[in-house]
Amino acid sequence: MKLSKVILTGVVGLVSLGLAACGGGGSSSGSTPATDGGSGEQIVFKLAFNQTDQHPQYKAGVEFGKRLEEATDGRYSIKVYPNEQLGTQSDVIQNLSNGTVELMYVGGPVMEGFNKDFAVYNLPYMFDSVDAQHQIFRDTELNADLFKSVEESKNITVLAALFAGVRNIYNSKQAVRTPDDLTGMKIRVQQSDSQVRMIELMGAVASPMGQGDVYSALQTGVLDGAENNETVYNALKHDEVAKFYSYTRHLMIPDYLLISSKALNTMPEADRQALLDLVPEIQKMADDGFQDFIKKSIDSSKSIGAQFNDDVDTAAFKERVQPLVDETVNANDVRKTLYAAIQEANAAHPAG
């Protein structure tokens, strides 16, 4: 398979163009006639999503389907499956790799299972601002090899990296101001080594699990808390069972919009290009909707008694996690290069 084209306008995608287009891939809905003289059935790609239909990524995914349908004269569309209907991100990504699910949104840490170099983007206190993160994910050249690595090894094409909020700690016991306040607390993290090590250095006990299990684990006391952005805290009702939300601001981890390389490569060339051309606007839609979603989520959580604490010694947390940053970025030259680029982006776009 030849890797040849880099697509971007705020998005990095590495696409194989070496295969003959032969149609197919995805599920046939059978309900909408194709207009290309092909099989006569519309191909509907499944997009797996682990959050609710209120999320801007869900809305962007639905719009992606509509616009793809228009752009391909009805030959292709997308159906978004929210709420982990197709499984946890760790499970779904295997299905993407084998081609039984065509599209998904995935949290950055899950990518570490395929290539540990992704961990650089998942480190605590890495990006000083949203603009710094945007600069990094609009840099095609910088990300080309990293993204290409999963195409070659796993049949997964990275279409876009998306803003996914700033993550903070919340729990059922007390407001968190210093690392000592976390002592002994069991905190859910995303499923990766970097996330486990991070929360341990921050002072808590790490409990990696898929997102869908967190509510009941908080409710039953299996977990004392978790860490996530305000939208997840509210949308998944964690605010009902863990009312102390504290602004540790320890992570700004991207989500990735992924497509099965197999599905992409079996599209006729013009349809594939139409899909790729849509990605920047879909990415922008998902990113733009996020800030408003955060505000609404905070208001909604407050209305049911959640307490937001911004009196946090972030410098103390930052100092605690520095060994993780050092050991991760110094492990090889690829990571050193990514890290140096982040430093430049941070200098160009300091915290507001």
The least distance separating ligand GCU from the CB of residue 256, rounded to whole angstroms, comes to 9
Please check whether residue 78 is in contact with residue 61, taking contact to mean a CB–CB distance below 8 angstroms. Answer: yes
The C-alpha atoms of residue 287 and residue 275 are separated, in whole angstroms, by 19
Give whichever of 15 and 251 is closer to ligand GCU, judged by the CB atom.
Answer: 251
Give whichever of 51 and 297 is closer to ligand GCU, judged by the CB atom.
Answer: 51
The C-alpha atoms of residue 76 and residue 58 are separated, in whole angstroms, by 18
Pinpoint the alpha helices (H) of the chain. Answer: 56-71, 89-98, 108-111, 130-137, 140-154, 193-202, 214-220, 230-235, 238-241, 261-265, 269-303, 314-329, 333-348
Give whichever of 288 and 326 is closer to ligand GCU, judged by the CB atom.
Answer: 288
Q: What distances in angstroms separate CA 97 from CA 91, 162, 211, 271, one per listed residue? A: 10, 20, 21, 21
The least distance separating ligand GCU from the CB of residue 181, rounded to whole angstroms, comes to 21
Give whichever of 117 and 255 is closer to ligand GCU, judged by the CB atom.
Answer: 255
Q: Using CB atoms, what's the residue nearest to ligand GCU?
A: 107
The C-alpha atoms of residue 208 and residue 99 are separated, in whole angstroms, by 26
Taking the alpha carbons at both ends of the chain, their separation in whole angstroms is 44
The least distance separating ligand GCU from the CB of residue 186, rounded to whole angstroms, comes to 15
Give whichever of 50 and 283 is closer to ligand GCU, judged by the CB atom.
Answer: 50
The least distance separating ligand GCU from the CB of residue 108, rounded to whole angstroms, comes to 8
> What angle, 0 to 180 degrees and rounded to 10, lies between the N-to-C axes of helices 269-303 and 56-71?
160
Contacts with ligand GCU by CB under 6 A lie at 50-51, 89, 107, 164, 190, 211, 228, 232, 255
Give whichever of 8 and 92 is closer to ligand GCU, judged by the CB atom.
Answer: 92
The least distance separating ligand GCU from the CB of residue 67, rounded to whole angstroms, comes to 22
The least distance separating ligand GCU from the CB of residue 272, rounded to whole angstroms, comes to 25
In DSSP terms, 155 is beta-bridged to none
Q: What angle do CA 217, 223, 229 make, to 5 degrees?
A: 90
